[in-house]
Amino acid sequence: MLSRKTAIVTGSTSGIGLGIARALAGVGADLVLNGFGDRDEIETLRRSIATEFGVRVVHHGADLSKPDEIRSLVGHAQGEFGRVDILVNNAGIQHVAPVEEFPTDRWDAVIAINLSAVFHGTHHVLPGMRERGWGRVINIASVHGMVGSVNKAAYVAAKHGVIGLTKVVALETAGSGVTCNAICPGWVLTPLVQKQIDALAASQGIGVEEAGRRLVGEKQPSKEFVTPDQLGGLAVFLCSDAAEGMTGSAVTMDGGWTSQ
């Protein structure tokens, strides 16, 4: 389905990004992985995806808080594969604190990676997509792009901004063969969420498994975590011919969170 297409997936060495990268590779896309981690472990991951799916896979360790490195990431993809057809803006960080106690450096970091990096990556891939008359920009937002939560000022602000940016890009590229959509997951059991589960367990003096059940049960009527594989399947759909008419959408996968 995506044979001869090239996809950049940011934050794809673990969690949601890895699930999406594997799903795109599964339908034939060549990949540019991005993310931090042990060099040998990343190389093992790169080779395993390439071998399992028979696609070309490279890694670029761009720090997405730095615009010059985002430009380098896109340039590396273009140099390796000649094009970027799909950009999945997934990388994100979190910091939790009340607004009056929120460190300004953490605010700046969350906004830089969760919002500004989405702009910079999109800025660099759109010209080539327009020229070829085909492209997919998929922004991993969050239910927190639609609703608020206490102690998450920067994250909620950034994710609301991602949905707004998605709509603007969709309007500006309408009719060009390029689409831009946002996926809004609820609780997904990723390393980022695991930290919140661990913190809840410690603060309430309960086991980690019980903390996980309480966390997801507070918001998601399904009482189940969304999985990276499920999100990967949704990303593949958004790249398909069936989704050509979808642009500017914010699609939830949240176990019913935003239905309440």
Q: What is the pLDDT of residue 195?
A: 87
Q: 3-state DSSP call for residue 60?
A: strand
Give the rounded percent of residues in the chain with a pLDDT score beyond 70.
100
What pTM was estimated for this model as a whole?
0.94
Known catalytic residue: 155?
yes
> What's the pLDDT score for residue 90?
98
As a whole-number percent, the residues of the chain with pLDDT over 90 amount to 95
pLDDT tens by residue, 174-216: 999 999 999 999 999 887 788 889 999 999 999 999 999 999 9
Evaluate whether 228 touches 188 at the Cβ level (below 8 Å): yes
Distance set, CA 239 to CA 27, 44, 90, 115 (Å): 10, 27, 15, 22
Residue 160: per-residue pLDDT: 98
The residue annotated as part of the active site, out of 155, 187, 225, 257, is 155
Show the 3-state SS of 89-149: ECCCCCCCECHHHCCHHHHHHHHHHHHHHHHHHHHHHHHHHHHHCCEEEEEECCHHHCCCC
Q: What is the rounded average pLDDT of the residues 158-175?
A: 98
Quick check: 73 and 121 in contact, CB under 8 A?
yes
